[in-house]
Amino acid sequence: MDFRVINLHELGDERGCLVALESPKHVPFDIKRVYYIYGTKPDVSRGAHAHQNLNQLAICVSGSCVFKLFDGRETNEVRLDSPTKGLFIGNMIWREMHSFSEDCVLMVLASRNYDEQDYIRDRDSFLKLVNQA
Ligand code: TYD
């Protein structure tokens, strides 16, 4: 499955902490877009889609949440609970995010601009596509 956890280098001193993200040094694609999700209500699940052609790096810059990843065969769960932990997700991975903490700010770096045509939001269509690949 095309995902991996990337440990982000923390630059800290007596004043506090800082993480710098540069392509391609820390992020394995050119960053075209950044968005962040916050104020997610308790017991809410988000995502529930896959992308045909998009690389993303997700980081909980505050709080925590859990990514459930599915490639049509296996399922993996990754808990993001540190600003120094990045989750890289490649193409054709069905993702759902859940267990958001109240203070969660989930930042996502993406390799392409927003394009609704790139989304697969129907799980049956996703399964058909990955099973014929
Ligand atoms: P949605 O895809 O439902 O969010 P989630 O990541 O939880 O699956 O996106 C919510 C709304 O925001 C939807 O109307 C699409 C819009 N949106 C943009 O306009 N640009 C973006 O970069 C993203 C990620 C979403």
Give the distance (Å) from ligand 1 centre to CA of residue 11: 31
pTM assigned to the model: 0.95
**Using an 8 Å Cβ cutoff, are 80 and 65 in contact?**
yes
Residue of the CA atom closest to atom 22 of ligand 1:
114
Distance between start and end Cα atoms, the chain: 13
Q: What does the pLDDT read at residue 1? A: 84
Mean pLDDT across 123-128? 97
Q: Per-residue pLDDT for 133 more than 80?
A: no
- pLDDT tens string 1-53: 899 999 999 998 999 999 999 999 999 999 999 999 999 998 999 999 999 99
Rounded Cα gap, residues 26 and 109, in angstroms: 12
- Percentage of the chain surpassing pLDDT 70? 99
Please tell me the class of the 3-11+19-132 domain. mainly beta
**Using an 8 Å Cβ cutoff, are 100 and 21 in contact?**
no
Residue of the CA atom closest to atom 13 of ligand 1:
116
- Report the catalytic residues: 49
Residues facing residue 109 across a β-bridge: 34, 57
- pLDDT tens string 53-89: 999 999 999 999 999 999 999 999 999 999 999 999 9
- Report the candidate in 27, 10, 28 with the shortest Cα–Cα distance to residue 19: 10
- Report the candidate in 84, 43, 79, 47 with the shortest Cα–Cα distance to residue 64: 79
* Bond before 28 cis per omega within 30 degrees: no
Q: What does the pLDDT read at residue 42? A: 83
